[in-house]
Amino acid sequence: MPQLDIGHISTPTNVNLTGAKGMGDGSSMLAPAALANAAADALGREDIELPLSLNRVWELANGREATVSGTYGKKSGAAAGGLEQGGGALQGEGSQLLSAPPAEVWRRLLDAEVLGAVIPGCKRMDKVGADAFEAEVSIGVAGIRGLYTAKVRIAEQTPPQALRMDFRASGRLGNGRGSAWVELAPEGEGTRLSYRYGADVGGTVAAVGNRMLGSVTGVLIAQFFKAFESYGTGGGKPGAWQRIAALFGGKR
């Protein structure tokens, strides 16, 4: 058999960011299998199931299987009010002491106007039902900033002690869904707010890894509580000068 010389000319499409074409392009049906084989060799796996998302590659590289989105197991010890708790690939928990009494904290947590003012990057917050909200939020992760549309539903509640909310978010750079649990308990003249969340994240933003996402989430939660505590005292929305001064550590 004579020697064969195979030439290739790159003709990327201009209708998406990667230049990839559809199934009608030559060899496109072989590419996924070739990529899966390469990933399996690099990760030391005998077999890999498609689709091979960035989030799944990260999980395989770190020795864990992908969790099933939206499925949350029970945690030993239910939350106050008997609400069940679960988890997700991205998890966190903590607590914050607030100066307002539990009844007032509860009212603010379910007030769309308050939430729109204190959630970092919130562009719009609407109450679309007795226990449902829709919002648009701008979030930046590792230099990747995007606008996300979020839907939140209060799935369970025991006023004014505990609630569970389920949420979904989607945007050009990624998507996610999960649940959060909140407990309120009197402490002195204020309220101890304890929280726990579990979420699964996909898309481009998931490529930064859960450690980075967890750090960013922690910063956003701290900003939320700072604005939540100062809401109604003139500190809920900083002015332009305050935002500029904060960047340089200045005060006025």
As a three-state string, the secondary structure of 165-210 is: EEEEEEECCEEEEEEEEEEEEEECCEEEEEEEEEEEEECHHHHHCH
Could you report the per-residue pLDDT of 146-196, keeping only the tens digit for each?
A: 899 999 999 999 999 999 999 999 998 889 999 999 999 999 999 999 999
Q: What is the mean pLDDT of residues 19-29?
A: 55
Task: Based on the fold, state whether residues 45 and 117 are members of the same structural domain.
Answer: no
Q: How many domains does the chain have?
A: 2
Residue 16 covered by a domain? no
Whole-number Å distance between alpha carbons of 25 and 22: 6
Look up the CATH number of the domain holding residue 191.
3.30.530.20
Task: Based on the fold, state whether residues 120 and 239 are members of the same structural domain.
Answer: yes
What is the percent of the chain with per-residue pLDDT over 90, rounded to a whole number?
A: 45
Task: Please check the confidence at residue 102 and state whether its pLDDT lies above 60.
Answer: yes
Task: Please check the confidence at residue 118 and state whether its pLDDT lies above 90.
Answer: yes
Task: Based on the fold, state whether residues 212 and 142 are members of the same structural domain.
Answer: yes
Q: Which residue has the higher pLDDT, 43 or 218?
A: 218
The verdict on pTM exceeding 0.85 is no
The Cα-based distances of 175 to 68, 83, 171, 200, 219 in angstroms read: 14, 26, 6, 9, 19
Our CA angle for 121, 129, 205, nearest 5°, is 35
Could you report the per-residue pLDDT of 42-83, keeping only the tens digit for each?
A: 777 777 776 677 767 777 776 655 443 333 333 433 344 444
Task: Based on the fold, state whether residues 110 and 159 are members of the same structural domain.
Answer: yes
What is the percent of the chain with per-residue pLDDT over 70, rounded to a whole number?
A: 68
The pLDDT value given to residue 97: 97
Task: Based on the fold, state whether residues 57 and 102 are members of the same structural domain.
Answer: no
